[in-house]
């Protein structure tokens, strides 16, 4: 278990302009008993905690067994031997863990935590669209509910979307729910001379759609050597100006491997916090935006959910939805493995 001093060392470099991220030694001392109790329960219940890169730093550094992006965490959930998976993130991620682990208990500490993408499309919408586009392969971003995944052909994440759409053996594709990601994929394919007929749904991530290209121009004016890293949920005009486009984990790896010293990240604040902690010698300029859904998870929620989970915190899926959603998610793993080989 992490000590108070180790926790403070990890948290003190994090400064992303929010009281949530202003950590003191006293704060670490105060939360440490909660961390100790969570660790005790993890042992007792044979539980692991999977935390997305965007959740609160106390969770990432205090109790998480694994941190990462949607794709990495889905793989860890698939391969885990734990009996209980606690998933502080957003609902669709915990549902994906349950799709992959029907016999394990999967707990979502913050069941009201939505996502503007996942909440923007329902199974009814997908049934209607499938009638409207009968010849299309339906590709869903992982930021969708299990019911929506169950009606789609293949799932993608920000770490494999470009490669999977490129590889699909059908020129007619319906991409949902993120219209900005769809536009970025179209541009990516066009740049490589690949023609596909891609239609898309009208969803967006409320965090990433906020960024505009002017922010990059402004930051570059004062920091001519800045390395600009962008998430593919951003607008195409933002992606076009980026030095690097990728998932949160690939951005983290990019910073790790880069010889540069100044970075501007256009994604949720959690990633900037991790990078400030891991690479205190590097500079992270510009602003970031917090996802209210991811940040709604707290250490206390994790403790309560492990100690005495409420029915609404335990993920349950009907066998039919789970099996159809599993087919969709497994096709993602097959495509991702095919494209990376």
Q: Give me the residues that bind ligand SF4 (CB under 6 A), please.
A: 54, 90, 115-117, 143, 205-207, 268, 291, 293-294
Q: Which is nearer to ligand SF4, 35 or 142 (CB)?
A: 142
Shortest distance, position 291 Cβ to ligand SF4, whole Å: 3
Contact status, residue 231 vs residue 264, Cβ threshold 8 Å: no
Helix (H) or strand (E) holding 265: strand 262-266
The residue whose two tokens read 């329902």 is 122
Shortest distance, position 267 Cβ to ligand SF4, whole Å: 8
From the list 126, 88, 84, the residue with the least C-alpha distance to 106 is: 84
Q: Which is nearer to ligand SF4, 206 or 279 (CB)?
A: 206
Q: Which is nearer to ligand SF4, 10 or 231 (CB)?
A: 231
Half-sphere exposure of 184 (CA within 13 A, CB side): 27
Q: Which is nearer to ligand SF4, 162 or 293 (CB)?
A: 293
Shortest distance, position 27 Cβ to ligand SF4, whole Å: 25
Q: Which is nearer to ligand SF4, 82 or 266 (CB)?
A: 266
DSSP per-residue string spanning 159-228: TTHHHHHHH-S-SEEEEESBHHHHHHHHHHHHHTT---EEEE--B--TTGGG--HHHHHHHHHH-TTPEE
Residue 323, C-beta contacts closer than 8 angstroms, at least 6 positions apart:
150
Residue 329, C-beta contacts closer than 8 angstroms, at least 6 positions apart:
74, 96, 99, 100, 149, 155
User: What are phi and psi for residue 235, nearest 5 degrees?
Assistant: -60, 150
Q: Which is nearer to ligand SF4, 7 or 238 (CB)?
A: 238
Shortest distance, position 145 Cβ to ligand SF4, whole Å: 12
Shortest distance, position 26 Cβ to ligand SF4, whole Å: 30
Shortest distance, position 143 Cβ to ligand SF4, whole Å: 5
User: Strand 105-107 vs strand 84-86: parallel, antiparallel, or unpaired?
Assistant: parallel
């Amino acid at each position: 278990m992490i000590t108070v001093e180790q926790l403070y060392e990890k948290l003190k470099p994090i400064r992303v302009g929010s009281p949530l991220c202003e950590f003191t030694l006293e704060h670490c001392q105060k939360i440490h008993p909660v961390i100790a109790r969570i660790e005790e329960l993890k042992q007792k219940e044979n539980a692991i905690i999977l935390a997305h890169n965007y959740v609160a730093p106390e969770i990432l550094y205090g109790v998480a067994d694994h941190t990462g992006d949607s794709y990495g965490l889905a793989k860890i959930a698939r391969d885990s031997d734990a009996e209980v998976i606690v998933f502080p993130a957003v609902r669709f991620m915990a549902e994906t863990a349950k799709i992959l682990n029907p016999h394990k208990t999967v707990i979502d500490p913050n069941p009201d935590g939505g996502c503007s993408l996942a909440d923007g499309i329902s199974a009814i919408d997908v049934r209607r669209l499938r009638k409207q586009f009968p010849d299309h392969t339906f590709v869903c971003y992982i930021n969708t509910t299990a019911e929506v995944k169950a009606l789609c052909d293949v799932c993608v994440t920000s770490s494999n979307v470009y490669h999977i759409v490129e590889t699909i053996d059908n020129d007619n594709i319906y991409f949902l729910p993120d219209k900005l990601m769809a536009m970025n994929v179209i541009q990516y394919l066009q740049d490589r001379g690949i023609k596909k007929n891609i239609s898309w749904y009208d969803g967006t991530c409320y965090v990433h759609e906020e960024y505009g290209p002017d922010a990059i121009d402004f930051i570059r004016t004062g920091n001519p050597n800045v390395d600009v890293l962008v998430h593919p949920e951003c607008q195409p005009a933002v992606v076009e100006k980026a030095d690097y486009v990728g998932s949160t984990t690939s951005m983290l790896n990019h910073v790790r491997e880069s010889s540069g010293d100044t970075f501007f990240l256009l994604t949720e604040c959690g990633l900037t916090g991790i990078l400030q902690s891991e690479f205190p010698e590097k500079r992270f300029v510009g602003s970031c935006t917090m996802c209210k859904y991811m940040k709604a998870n707290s250490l206390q929620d994790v403790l309560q959910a492990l100690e005495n989970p409420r029915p609404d915190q335990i993920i349950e899926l009907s066998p039919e939805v789970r099996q159809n959603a599993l087919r969709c998610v497994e096709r993602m793993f097959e495509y991702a493995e095919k494209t990376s080989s």
